[in-house]
Chains A and B, each alone.
Chain A
Amino acid sequence: MTINSSIENSNIANINIKNNKISTKKIVSFIFEKIVPYVFMIVFAIRLFSYQSLIDTYIGLNQSPISAVTTFFTLVAIWLQYTAILISILRSFFRFKVLINLARYITLPIYLFNLILIQSIMILFVGNKQISLLFVCYLAEIVLGIALSIYYLIKDCKVKTSIKEIAIAIGVLLLMMIASLPAYFIQFVFGYGRNTIIPKDISFYHRVLIYIGIIIPIILYFTLRNQSEEVIRFSLIYISLATMIGFLVNYDYTIFSRPWSWPFHLCNTAMFIIPLCLIFKFKRLFYFTYFINVFGALIAMLMPNYEDTTNILSSKIFHFWFNHWIAFFMPLLIVALKQFPRPKIKEFYWSMIWFLGYFVLVLFLNVYFTAIGHKTDFFFLNTNYVVDQLGTWAEQLFNIEASITVGGKILVFHPIYQALFFATYVALGLAIWFVYAEFFRIADRHYELHLKLKKIKQVEIARRSVSSKIRKEEFMKELETKEAKLQLIHFSKKYATSKVYAVEDANLEVHKGEIFGFLGPNGAGKSTIIKSIVGIQPITEGNIEVCEYDITKDAVKAKYNIGYVPDHYALYEKLTGREYINYIADIYEVSKEDRDKRLAKYIKIFELESSIDSKIKTYSHGMKQKITIMSALVHNPKVWILDEPLTGLDPNSIYQVKECMKQHASEGNIVFFSSHLIDIVEKLCGRIAIIKKGHIQCVKSVDEIEASGISLEQFYLNTIGNNEEK
């Protein structure tokens, strides 16, 4: 009893320890995954606005207050820090292999690298290394980053990682760094170069920027569309946040006291709207950016409004392009990657409501700030910048003014210009919708094609693993040794436009030397089966094997064994009969001797001596059918398939075709034919199958049917009729 109770006690103690361990783990996990990331965000946000920046004033490394080499490494460290912070924060919301590796192996060295260079960083940011709010925040950032990195290193220690995966993580980091590149980096590192280059007026450099602006989103689309939903969402959120940070580095705390300098320009708003919509899934707001921002950004990219004194490498131009580029492609990419559905008219209405709100807001902000002495021009509503581009007529419209006095301030409007501006923008937004729709249609079709090809490739790989690649000569030898055989294994066929099966679960086996009759009423599925055997139609389910070659996987090999006579002759009428048969013989690689022999035989049988060298278009229906039969037999196929072959033939030719069928079967081949002529099937075939409404009703030998005392015709009618009753 005592022993038992002590065991019980120790068990309880163990459970308690275990529970304690679990709860401690939970608490640690809660702190590092729920609290630290948010603290990290706050610290980072304070750091971003906590100083008046000097870093964006340096043009070239030689202007740096510290040595060029140190400056370069310091700049890289700052750049890496932006990337690492986002990785550390986002890691608590996403969990996929590359991010796991980034958060535990890559971020830690980055934070340490920043810790080493913290004094240089401070000098570049504010010109001294004294203790300041920036210094404290930056240090706090590093500490939090290191803590999170160590936490993830321990937490994910069980997740195995190969060297290759680490290499991939480094590669991904480099790509991620593109999005977090600070606006001043290029200007600081490279200066302005020898010549002043202004990317404007569709000049070469301007075009290069536009091409990059279009090509990179396309690359992103192709890279991301095959990834998991989580990776896509992470990537889009990361890009939007990283570029928003890159955009914000140009602002400091003083901006809060200057609302007329706030980023209220249309494309500036996109930098905030896009991450907000992605993170919080603001559907209605998103379509504002989709219909309005994209178009506005595209116009800005085509007709940039920067001054002629700036340079392509300057932070101003970088800032301009990064902002407009993101506003241009991100909403499209988000919809293309199906993070938000393709918009419908309802979404358009909502986007217009948001646009109206935005328009009214910036209109009043413009006139109010102008009235108090700060001439603002959000969305180009308040100055004549746009009308200057359009000409005198627009200037005349702009000059029509209306003013109201509120609290002693005169608010000046340009009602006609502003109303027309709004209306034009709405109309263009609507028009651009069709362009987007067309692009998405192309993208969707391409994706569908991609998936289809992927599936085909998988089948091909599977096939390769089953049989090794056979050389052509060997294959030809192999062909000769193969026995004639035709098999339908659980074959089903459904047409793309139909919901029901045209043929369902058909099983059939035909052996060498057989003449097999295929009977059924019109529309029963005879032609569907035949067309699937010969490769005209794809198989929905199951398999078809011809001489043991699968018609889907080994199509070419299987087809070498098939001769096909369609239900309606299909010939090149501009060729002569001989030319056509020789063309078919060439495809099947029939030797000259064989084709001479066979052609001479069939020309004689079908009495085509006088017309074989005339053009097919001069032939009668029967003659065309004879040419079709001859072309199907020219390569002496192991499986000869005929779909209602006797239609339109004269009695003599019918007799000859029947003789050909008998002879072909007697040589060890298969003759598989469908027909409505039951008496011919009865006399000719050893076995028959009856199909009705896509289902094979029975497979029987003719002798067996006759032994039961009824004719094939009666049996056929019974089978079809009985089933009808059912």
Chain B
Amino acid sequence: MKAFVKKEKAQNTQIQKHGLKQLKTLVFMQLRDKIDLSFIKDKKQFFRTIILNLVKMIGIVAIAYLILFLSSKIGLFSNSEFPSIMVLILTISLGLSLISCTYELTNNLYFSEDNRVLITLPVDANQIFISKIIVFYIYELKKSLNFLIPLTISCLLLLIMKGFCSVWMLFWSFIPLIFILMLPVLFGALLSIILMYIKLFLKRVPTIQVLLFLVLLALSIIGIVYLIGLIPNNIDLIAQWPTISRNIREFLLQVESKLAIMSQMVSIIIGSFTQRLVYVLNGMTFVKLLVLIVICGILFILVYFISRPIFFGMMAKNFEINKRITNDKPNKKHNKYFTFINKEFKINLRTIHISVNYLMVYIIVPILILFLNAMYKAMDTRTLGDLLIYTFNILLICLPLLASNALVATYYSREGRTGYMKKTKPIYAFYPLIIKLLFNFIFSIPTIFITCAIFGSSVSFNVGEITLLGFAILFLHLGHMIYSANLDIMNPQNEQYATTGDMIDNPNENKSTVLAFILSAVYALISYKLLSEASLGSTDGSIIFGLVKLMIISIAFFGAMLLLFVKNIKAYYYDIQG
């Protein structure tokens, strides 16, 4: 009997060992997907990577230390407010981690493509689930090396330098941090269930998805605009410094009092404040650490028993092909030319990353200009200052707008082999090629004019001047857009896109971006020259002539690019091999 028990025990140990080995393999397999682990194999590379990362961390520590030191020197906060700073850092860090973990775990646990591979492996399904959580935890630890850990070290260093705690605290701090960093992963795993159901629901009802996106977008825009509105009309840092400093201190104290849980976590890291005016580890610190460990344990059990079954369910569901029986839709006949427009709009609106990319640029540009001008308004400027404001505004409008055209430099290639099929159709290729730019063109018009209106109204331009500037920038944008399209036509990358679906280092994209920067800078310089001449040269200080000249330059650039585009298509498009 004893021998049997012993044998069984040995067998169990063997199984456990084997299970752990499998878990390790699973973890490493998935980690390789998230982190480049190639350095482990090579000793030299291993040490080099370690040293490099160490140097990087020391650098961050040094910078953070310097900032904190200077901040305390200029009286931004006093020594007693250090725990508040740490609470703030911890809150921000954990908050961001929680968001990223929730989002990534939702995708990784329930919607991941690698589930299909993992399920076929000869391992226990529980191990797959645990391995996923461990991978995320390791990844979280790695991320914390860039922010939370160096910032905590720099805070502790400052406390040590000021004599508020001992050097040993530096080593101790890593122990609570190991557990603290478990929290976003475990909470994220729980929250990801809710997010997953929301995602599934939104997938089923795309209208709500769009509406929700629009509402969130509108709310963020309103929020940002509201925040920009809070910028005071007059910024004078030196005169207002006592008030600013007092407000910051009050804010830090509020942070500490409102975020009691975070304060407790900080007290685990740095210990308790004693009557001897130093932070030391005492019995209470260890009790708090124990509570933290227990919380982590409870969370893990919750995750294991709540998330795991859903994970298995989703893994199986993923394989089922969702066949949708739809009613016959009628065929629609369009004009030969309109059909291209129709197709482009459908494809663009259904290609989320393109739409979002444009949407972001088109939203960010006016907000950026609004912010910039709110700042400028608060400053006291003279004629030269005003001219520089015009120039910077034009530069900042042009830069993101033109840079967004880098995507246009991949437009035709992104179609992969489908792109060549245009040549087989009974229509001169110029038309479908130029129509491809229509989507970008149409959506850029309101952005450009709204941005110009924001800029114009803040510098007291009249409607005519705003319109002129709008057209000037629009033509420049169009010219660069056509230039980018031209790059793609003359040096197509269709095969690469057809094979891999994407291209990391597309030479056309790079060229388009480089020209966007050069063009924006040159255009801003020309604007400065023309506007300075117009405003200084004329008796009434009107800049209308400068704007007219600017528009003529833009139209000339646009015209030249369009002409080259047409000629290149006629001469080369059909010669480029498919």
**Measuring CB to CB, which residues of chain A are less than 8 angstroms from any residue of chain B?**
202, 204, 449, 452-453, 456, 495-496, 531, 534-538, 555-557, 559-560, 562, 564, 566, 568, 570-572, 574-575, 578-579, 582-592, 595-596, 599, 609-615
Contact = CB atoms under 8 A, between A and B. Distances in A.
Given A610-B324, A613-B326, A456 B571 contact: yes
Given A449-B567, A452-B572, A610-B325, 7 more contacts: A452-B571, A536-B423, A562-B424, A570-B418, A574-B346, A595-B331, A613-B329
Given A556-B426, A572-B343, A449 B568 contact: yes
A575 B571 CA distance: 31
A408 B417 CA distance: 84
A537 B578 contact: yes
Contacts of B529: 202
A532 B529 CA distance: 53
25 contacts: A452-B571, A453-B567, A456-B570, A534-B423, A534-B424, A537-B577, A556-B426, A556-B427, A556-B428, A559-B424, A559-B425, A562-B424, A568-B498, A570-B417, A570-B419, A570-B421, A572-B347, A574-B346, A579-B343, A586-B334, A586-B339, A587-B336, A588-B425, A592-B331, A610-B323
B184 interface: no
B231 to A, nearest CB: 36
B162 to A, nearest CB: 46
A495 B575 CA distance: 10
B333 to A, nearest CB: 5
B456 interface: no
A503 to B, nearest CB: 13
Contacts of A590: 333
Contacts of A582: 331-334, 339
B568 A566 contact: no
B416 A570 contact: yes
B426 A595 contact: no
A615 B326 CA distance: 12
B275 interface: no
Contacts of B575: 496, 538
Contacts of B324: 610-611, 614
Contacts of B419: 570
A614 B339 contact: no
Contacts, number: 117
A305 B420 CA distance: 58
B533 interface: yes
Contact of B339 (A556, A587, A591): A587
Interface of B: 323-326, 328-329, 331-336, 338-339, 342-343, 346-347, 350-351, 415-421, 423-428, 498, 529, 533, 567-568, 570-572, 574-575, 577-578
Contacts of A592: 331, 333
Interface centre among A202, A536, A538 (most CB of B within 10 A): A536
A692 to B, nearest CB: 22
Contact of B570 (A453, A495, A531, A555): A453
A609 B324 CA distance: 10
B434 to A, nearest CB: 16
A480 to B, nearest CB: 15
A574 B350 contact: yes
B574 A538 contact: yes
A534 to B, nearest CB: 4
Contacts of A557: 426
A527 to B, nearest CB: 10
Contacts of A449: 567-568, 571-572
Given A495-B577, A535-B423, A535-B574, A591 B333 contact: yes
Nearest to B333: A592
A583 B578 contact: no
B334 A536 contact: no
Contacts of B572: 449, 452
B333 A595 contact: yes
Contacts of B351: 574
Nearest to B427: A587
Contact of A453 (B339, B498, B571, B574): B571
Contacts of A612: 328
A599 B332 CA distance: 12
A575 B346 CA distance: 7
Contacts of A534: 423-424
A218 B366 CA distance: 39
B342 A578 contact: no
B558 to A, nearest CB: 18
A566 B347 contact: no
Interface centre among B328, B336, B421 (most CB of A within 10 A): B421
Contacts of B498: 568
Contact of B335 (A453, A562, A586): A586
Contacts of A452: 571-572
Contacts of B428: 556
A476 B426 CA distance: 13
